[in-house]
Structure 1
Amino acid sequence: MFGFSVSLTQQPSLSKIQKMQKVGFQLIYTSLVVPSDTLPVAMTHLQQLARFSKQHDLQLVVQIIKQTKSLLPELAKLSIQALIVDESFSKDEVKELALNYRIILNASTLNIDCFQNFKGLNIEAWHDRYEQPFTGLDDTFFQQQNQLIQRENIPLGAVSNERHLYNLKQCANARKTSYKLCIRACNRVNTTRDSNDYH
């Protein structure tokens, strides 16, 4: 499945979303990681996006952080299929969210303990985007993480942008891996995260 990103800091272009769907995209990625003073506007745009995605049978994936946890009651009213959560959420909070959503965790930081904690839950693992030099993943570590996740039969995906998309597709074909690729327009850079997160 292929997806594309829509920013909540501006009015969603519904005509562009329709064009993306016509060429085969089935998933919308968006994020509530926005400045606090723009959060009310972002929520208004998200509500519009959720209505549109439901009407047009598109999956909607929303990234949240601990600071936006207070919005969960409002999110529950929307047609959202999955939440991307970071390491600021405890394992109990992740389990609670998994009762109502597919939960997407950072594939780069998962370990055996995480799999034990989340066994039986509706979770996926996506590699995030590392935009700047020296912020990416070591190739050996990347392969080891993928093998570890695949052994647990957890759906595996990756976030990329247009210029990295071809390489990811080649990587998926070469390793016979079914990647869910989500093109992300924003330029947020992941910081290094400890593998003991999601405690």
Structure 2
Amino acid sequence: MCYGISIYLSESDTFNKNWMEKAAVSGFQYIFTSLHIPEERDVDYVKQVKWLGKTAQEFHMEVMADVSPASLERLGLSFNELPSITEWGISGIRMDYGFTAKQIAWLSHHLKIGLNASTIDEEQLKKLMDEGLQPHQTEAWHNFYPKPFTGISKQYLYERNALFHRYGIQTMAFIQGDEQLRGPLHVGLPTIENHRHVSPTLAALELQEMNTDKICVGDLNLTNKTLQELKFVMEGTVPLYADFNKGYEIFDNMVHTNRMDAAEYVIRSVESRQLPSKFQPEAHELDVFNEGTITVENELYGRYAGELQICLGDIPADTKTNVAGRIKQESLSLMKKVGSGKRFVLLHSKVK
């Protein structure tokens, strides 16, 4: 799984460099930029693209640039000269419209190529393959959708991903940001419409579930909190914010693994029963442990003593079980992504 950010050349060099640095430190590996955005006027594209390529190399990040025939005019390049763009620090080209199958296939022998994953059909894909398209040099990039209610569905993205994977081509999709949203509408830049109003972390986890190979932030940047969360996600761990009761702080910032034989009603920590700490029974007057309740089995539970669980729904309370805390409301949706064998971490303190 590979993560990237979007850089818009109309933003200041200082803003863009700071965002690249923060993203690189957090584990992001590539940059997407577009060279044919209508709102971007008075941009010296040659100067800015060369600056972007050089700066990205400083942070060991690849750059994929979205181009059209009109973009080539702005760059002062003919189509046959496009491979020379690697000398500017650009790793590949996403070819949106106006190019023939023969041109795209030819260029894939010289550059990394991005196809439009949301619009190309299988007949067109077969034609590209017949023309000599190099799958290992090709990626399929979904669009982002600035206008509300125009994004694609989860099912459509899943089906499109499956199509390209059959031809050995990796896929990419966008998640929205959560600090500075890009204009002119400022309502997020996701690929999937239903991701427009969820956290970027949940959107990323769902794109992973749909077998998306690369995930890119469409908007201008992310909060430090979300960067921390996505860093966990890149490592294969679901971050969950929690409030702990006194005496259970031992579980703060501890990485757990849900059992491979995942239970229907609870998440069961593999690691918790290996801890030396044992817990005495604690009186409570609960009849039900609600969704999101964090429990720990006390000494009355014998061989299960010390096991930490998180309730996925309401279950009957038990005197052999202590209440260790609860998952915060904001993390209940992320909790549902802790599947079989999945790692998760309980975080008490937020990053500002």
Counterpart in the other structure of 1:38: 42
Q: Give me the whole-angstrom Cα distance separating, in 2, the residues matched to 1:52 and 1:156.
A: 25
Verify the 8 A CA contact 2:161 2:212 in the aligned structure 1: no
Secondary structure of 1:131's aligned partner:
coil
Tell me which protein shows more strand as a share of its residues: 2
Q: Which has the higher contact order (CA 8 A, sep 6+)?
A: 1
Return the index of the structure with the highest Cα Rg.
2
Counterpart in the other structure of 1:85: 95
AA aligned opposite 2:108: A
Counterpart in the other structure of 1:99: 109
Q: Does 1:140 align with 2:155?
A: yes
* RMSD over aligned Cα atoms: 2.3
Verify the 8 A CA contact 2:117 2:160 in the aligned structure 1: yes
Q: Offset at 1:111? A: 1.8
Q: Give me the whole-angstrom Cα distance separating, in 2, the residues matched to 1:33 and 1:184.
A: 15
AA aligned opposite 1:184: G
Counterpart in the other structure of 2:201: 166
CA offsets, 1:156-190, max 9 Å, x none?
Answer: 11023225433432323434x1431111227xxxx
Counterpart in the other structure of 1:123: 138
* 1:184 equivalent among 199, 218, 223: 218
Counterpart in the other structure of 1:189: none
Counterpart in the other structure of 2:314: none
Secondary structure of 2:87's aligned partner:
coil
Secondary structure of 2:4's aligned partner:
strand
AA aligned opposite 1:123: T
AA aligned opposite 1:171: E
Q: Give me the whole-angstrom Cα distance separating, in 1, the residues matched to 2:151 and 2:22.
A: 32
Secondary structure of 1:104's aligned partner:
strand
AA aligned opposite 1:38: D
What is the TM-score when the length of structure 2 is the normalising length? 0.48
Verify the 8 A CA contact 1:125 1:157 in the aligned structure 2: yes
Aligned length: 184
AA aligned opposite 1:8: L
Between stretches 70-79 and 49-58, larger displacement belongs to 70-79
* 2:172 equivalent among 150, 157, 161: 157
Secondary structure of 1:77's aligned partner:
helix
Q: Give me the whole-angstrom Cα distance separating, in 2, the residues matched to 1:31 and 1:173.
A: 24
Tell me which protein shows more helix as a share of its residues: 1
List aligned pairs for 1:59-70, cutoff 5 A. Answer: 59-70=62-73
Q: Offset at 1:77? A: 3.1
Instruction: Provide closer, same or farther for how the CA distance between residues 171 and 10 of structure 1 changes in structure 2, counting only shifts above 3 A.
Output: closer
* 2:30 equivalent among 13, 22, 27: 27
Instruction: Provide closer, same or farther for how the CA distance between residues 37 and 128 of structure 1 changes in structure 2, counting only shifts above 3 A.
Output: closer
Instruction: Provide closer, same or farther for how the CA distance between residues 37 and 178 of structure 1 changes in structure 2, counting only shifts above 3 A.
Output: closer
Q: Give me the whole-angstrom Cα distance separating, in 2, the residues matched to 1:130 and 1:141.
A: 15
Identity of aligned residues (%): 23
Between stretches 71-80 and 125-134, larger displacement belongs to 71-80
Secondary structure of 1:60's aligned partner:
strand
Q: Give me the whole-angstrom Cα distance separating, in 1, the residues matched to 2:202 and 2:119.
A: 22
Gaps of 5+ in 1: 187-199
Gaps of 5+ in 2: 179-194, 221-352
Secondary structure of 2:23's aligned partner:
helix
Q: Give me the whole-angstrom Cα distance separating, in 2, the residues matched to 1:96 and 1:49.
A: 25
Instruction: Provide closer, same or farther for how the CA distance between residues 55 and 92 of structure 1 changes in structure 2, counting only shifts above 3 A.
Output: same
